[in-house]
Amino acid sequence: MTMSSRKTLKTRHRSRLVPPVWKNIAFAGSVFAGLLLSFCAAMLFLWKPNSQATSRQQLANTAILAPAQVKTDHVTEPDRGTTFYKLGQGQHLASFLQTHGWSKEEINSSLAVASTQVNLKKLRTGMSIGLSPSETNPRQVTLQLSHTKDLKLRTDKTTLETTAKTVEYPVTKKKLHYRGLVQLSLWESAKRAGMPPALIDQLTDVFAWQIDFAKQVRSGDRWKISVERKYVRGKPVGHGPILAAQFESDHKKLTAIRFPQSGDNARYYFPDGRSLEGLFLKSPVRYNRISSRFQRNRYHPVLKRRRPHLGVDYAAAPGTPVKSVGDGRVVYAKWSGGGGRVVKIKHNSTYSTAYMHLSKYAKDIKAGSRVRQGQVIGYVGSSGLASGPHLHFSFYEHGKYINPLGKKFPSANPIVKNKMKSFQQTKIAAMSHLSVNTF
């Protein structure tokens, strides 16, 4: 509407330089233009209250219904020349757009539509926001809601009508492997291999039942993993679960293959089909050293007298997460004298475990809570009678203390017969990708 009026204004301007006969035509033209302008203004006035409702309707179809003006040649494509910025801490989208020269009206229209799609109060700090060049019409703001999803809002500068479109990007996967040679520690070797921390944790979780990574890993050990890397828009966005892993230490080689035996619940198995998972984890915490072992007769450093030490002390930094070594139910999570903050877990009718001197309990850990193996139940501290931050870990068999370090516990279920064929196929594919014999 405004565009046609702009054109007619230009015509009027030019008319001063042309012969009188044309002036009459031009005059008639300008009268017509004036009428058209008033008509447009009236239409704008009439249509204004409805435009937002129309936008919402368009939104529901998540399609861009381009206003007629968009088709004209001097309108630039808003996707072209988009510049991306990061949303600052505590910054609202409105103030962000304002600092980038958007008018109050443009912001209001854009945000009214955006709020029907996302919670504007919960936009992440650091979120990427793309803005079209200021001269484009419509103006576009692109909110990168996630790796795979964009919300594009286009606001027409003249009608102030906003349309929205969500764009989903597919995730593509590519298999790759990482390998490492331990010089100082597993973490150092994994870092050198370019592996992100989350994947290092996954590797230690895969072999958590076989290898005590804080104690048994030494210089010369070798490892490799096969994993899928995910890509969106050609950029890596993280890894999937480890598909196969191998750890070689002291000429002993352990191989783990991921396989979903029941539904989506994939676990790790040895090539012969035995489960890698034991009933209990090797240790409940990532520790620096064992500061005191299970002893029936031991000199207590704080009490300064002989007293049995019926558990294992793991020295670890305060705040280190403490994990339940097995599935079970919390018997109690409470202050218990010299033990300080203690969590006791019953795993089955035979075994229970207790975790002492915690600095705090994990969320939702209280009497009666169900816990899974490896679930964080609290954090290392020095509450109660403790000479420094450590975890005192006790193991009970039929209510009596046992030494967990010297005990062989049963394993989880192996691959069942009717799944063996499918497992073999997974194994062959995994092993060939891992190229098992060449470290």
What is the contact surface with Zn ion in residues (CB under 5 A)? 313, 392
Q: Could you write out the DSSP letters of every residue in 95-120?
A: HHHHHTT--HHHHHHHHHHHTTTS-G
Sign, CA torsion 48/53/57/62: positive
Instruction: Using the minimum distance from each CB to Zn ion, give the nearer residue, 156 or 313.
Output: 313
Closest contact distance (angstroms) between CB of 186 and Zn ion is 26
CA angle 240, 379, 377 (to 5 degrees): 65
Smaller CB separation from Zn ion, 23 or 215: 215
CA distance linking residue 76 with residue 133, whole number of Å: 9
CA distance 258 to 29: 78
The nearer residue to Zn ion, 153 or 345, going by C-beta atoms, is 345
Of 381, 390, 334, nearest in space to 358 by CA: 381
The minimum distance between CB 323 and Zn ion, in angstroms, equals 18
Q: State both tokens at 211.
A: 């290898």
Q: What minimum distance in Å lies between the beta carbon of 86 and Zn ion?
A: 48
* Residue of 137, 213, 148 lying closest to 182 (CA atoms): 213
| Structural contact between residues 78 and 132, judged by C-beta atoms closer than 8 angstroms | yes
Burial class (CB in 10 A: 0-12, 13-18, 19+), 288: middle
Comparing every residue's Cβ against Zn ion, the nearest one is: 392
Burial class (CB within 10 angstroms; exposed 0-12, middle 13-18, buried 19+) of 266: middle
Q: How far is the CB of 329 from Zn ion (least distance, A)?
A: 24
Nearer to Zn ion, 106 or 313 (CB): 313
Q: Which two tokens stand for residue 115?
A: 């709020």
Supply the minimum distance, in Å, between the C-beta of residue 373 and Zn ion.
23
Contact between 212 and 247 under an 8 Å Cβ cutoff? The reply is no
Measured from the CB atom, the residue of 139 and 309 that comes closer to Zn ion is 309
CA–CA gap between residue 366 and residue 250 (Å, rounded) = 42
Nearest residue (CB) to Zn ion, 184 versus 317: 317
Cβ distance to Zn ion smaller for residue 130 or 311? 311
Least distance in Å: CB of 358 to Zn ion?
13
Which of residues 344 and 392 has its CB atom nearest to Zn ion in the complex?
A: 392
Q: Give whichever of 67 and 389 is closer to Zn ion, judged by the CB atom.
A: 389
DSSP letter assigned to residue 349: S
Q: In terms of residues, how long is the chain?
A: 439
CB of 309 to Zn ion, least distance (A): 6
Handedness of CA 353, 358, 364, 366 (dihedral sign): positive
Give all strands (DSSP E) within 293-417, no chain letters: 295-300, 305-309, 312-315, 321-323, 328-335, 341-346, 351-358, 360-361, 370-371, 376-379, 390-397, 400-402
Question: Residue 45 to residues 41, 49, 144, 160: CA-CA distances in angstroms?
Answer: 6, 8, 35, 13
3-state DSSP helix/strand/coil % of the chain, to nearest 5: 30, 35, 40
Residue closer to Zn ion by CB (options 180, 311) is 311
> How far apart are alpha carbons 437 and 439 in whole angstroms?
6
Work out how close the CB of 343 gets to Zn ion at its nearest, in angstroms, rounded to a whole number: 15
Minimum distance, C-beta of residue 226 to Zn ion, in the bound complex (Å) = 40
Query: From the CB of 334, what's the least distance to Zn ion, in Å?
Result: 18
Shorter beta-carbon distance to Zn ion: residue 97 or 356: 356
Q: How far is the CB of 406 from Zn ion (least distance, A)?
A: 17
Structure-token match 């039929």, residue found? 398
